[in-house]
Amino acid sequence: MPGTRVLYMEERRGQDPDPCYLREFDAQVIERGPDHIVLDRTAFYAEGGGQPYDTGILRWAGGEAKVLRVQKEKGVIRHIVDRMPSADAVHGVVDWERRYAHMRMHTSQHLMSGLAFRIFAARTVGNQIHADRSRIDFQPVNFTAEDLKRIEHECNGVIASGVAVRIFEEDRVAVENRIEDRALMDLIPQSIRRLRIIQVGAADYCPCGGTHLMNVREIGRVRVLGKRSKGKETDRVEYELLPA
């Protein structure tokens, strides 16, 4: 079965904004299920990697449907809709407020994970972002209140520097030579030889398939809300974002 071209994963062209900023697109319906459709191309993010799915609408000549969820199953991206399009040619519009909140949260997660690794050698073993607050699980670590203040301070320092977020492809071998967290690389199937890398200045360098900002300044300000112990040497840190 033909796959779906994932538009936000494509390479940035010239002076265009990164395709993560694509809010609208045209596509063809290539498969119809009882409550979902598959498109030949999409800008909708399918739930995964701690980032929630996008919502939005699909329009066609004479009608429109809500995109309620987007899920990826065995490589197939399904748009769950409240109504079946009566045409194959559709125009998708991503709910930008929700998606942009996820991009801010996701990019700050990279920043915090990278800094916590550099300062405390704490690895990120899980994360879940939401539009209003997010959490990251770190291990091995037992953060003090002072440590959390330091993380917050370091994050906001990088944000204030206005460093660019780079998104690019790199050979797996080069990534393996550079990355310190081996467990992270082991999660990526060996068959994948080219990786999409997200680099946040000197703070983070990490393979990732999510959607990100172009500059850390767009994050605003990080506020760490606290931590909860999740068992032996594992801390769950919760944070929110404030406007710049």
Site residues (vs Zn ion, CB under 5 A): 198, 208, 210
Question: Distances in Å between the alpha carbon of 65 and those of 7, 25, 85, 202?
Answer: 20, 15, 7, 43
Q: Residue 127 or 147: which CB sits closer to Zn ion?
A: 127
CB 163 within 8 A of CB 212: no
Tokens of 86: 């009566």
Please report how close the Cβ of residue 208 comes to Zn ion at its closest, in angstroms: 3
Min separation Cβ 198 and Zn ion, Å? 5
Shortest Cβ distance from residue 116 to Zn ion (Å)?
Answer: 15
Q: How far is the CB of 128 from Zn ion (least distance, A)?
A: 13
Distance from the Cα of residue 19 to its chain's centroid: 13
Give yes or no for a contact between 56 and 27, defined as CB atoms under 8 angstroms apart.
Answer: no
Residue with Cβ nearer Zn ion (46 or 208): 208
Token duo for residue 12: 């940035």
In the complex with Zn ion, the residue whose CB is nearer, 208 or 237, is: 208
d(CA 204, CA 99): 22
Q: Closer to Zn ion at the Cβ: 114 or 210?
A: 210
For the bound state, the minimum distance from the C-beta of residue 34 to Zn ion, rounded and expressed in Å, comes to 32
Query: Tokens standing for 130?
Result: 């939401």
How far apart are alpha carbons 96 and 21 in whole angstroms? 9
User: Which residues have CB under 8 Å from 122's CB, separation 6+?
Assistant: 116, 138, 139, 140, 141, 143, 235
Taking the complex as a whole, the smallest distance from the CB of residue 146 to Zn ion amounts, in Å, to: 28
Q: Longest C-alpha distance within the chain, in Å?
A: 58
Question: In the complex, which residue's CB is closest to Zn ion?
Answer: 208
Rounded to whole angstroms, how far apart are CA atoms 50 and 236?
A: 14
